[in-house]
Amino acid sequence: MKRGKRAAAVALAIGLAVTGSMASLADTPGVKEVGGLGADGTTDSTLTGTINITNIQVEVPIKASFDIDPNVAITADTTIVTSTDATNTNQITGQATNYTIKNLSKVPLVVSITGIKTNDGTTDGIPELVNTMDDLTGKNVMFAVRKNGEAIKYPAAATDSTKKWMMADAIKPDSPYYVTEGGASANVLGPVGSSTADITMKLYGATGDGWRNGESFDVIPTFTIALQSASS
């Protein structure tokens, strides 16, 4: 079952994120203190500079696609194998290998997902994103975006102890989803030219038995790219 998907609709989201995360000056520029000369006729004058980023540059995937095959056998609470042979247990059987976010700025950036929605071409919220095997029925979908190379398991029948399967009501600006473990401090893109300036992601997923061959749906995560602050 081939599904053309908008794997990320991020142009506006990133614009808003950049605007909302500009560094502010630690204090209003200007003279803070005055005084007289010392006995020897000299004095030190301390000039404090604060990094104030007014613009960032980042390269992001705007649209991608993948194929999903509900006939691929999956097992609860087992590590997913993505391969082209019989060992494959990822129902997402075809996807881009260059699903990458790249930092083109000279400062480190934090990457997160602050929202996710779906659409079957007619209705928002369809298919429903679920995170347990018991709920994987009909057209419901389990979906995860992870850093390439990081292991992920299918959830258990009734609970998701992995916390890696995406849920529309759980991913919010104040409760972001990170594509690798460790929170904001682990999801940092280093400055342009560094070995950590980009992150390549892989899609994992499964669906129920409610689809017909050739039907499609969109999964649209909102990526937020923010400046890494001095305290993080």
Residue range 177-187, pLDDT digits in tens = 999 999 999 99
3, 94 contact by CB (below 8 A)? no
Both ends of the chain: CA-CA distance in Å? 43
pLDDT interval class at 17 (50, 70, 90): very low
78, 67 contact by CB (below 8 A)? no
pLDDT interval class at 69 (50, 70, 90): very high
As for how many domains the chain has, the answer is: 1
pTM of the model: 0.80
Q: Is position 29 within any domain?
A: no
Of 102, 114, 59, 111, the C-alpha closest to 227 is 111
Q: Is position 7 within any domain?
A: no
Q: Is position 117 within any domain?
A: yes
pLDDT interval class at 55 (50, 70, 90): confident
Q: How far apart are CA 91 and CA 67, in angstroms?
A: 8
% of the chain with per-residue pLDDT over 90: 58
72, 93 contact by CB (below 8 A)? yes
Other C-beta atoms lying within 10 Å of the C-beta of residue 232 = 12
Q: Is position 49 within any domain?
A: no
Q: Is position 71 within any domain?
A: yes
Q: Is position 81 within any domain?
A: yes
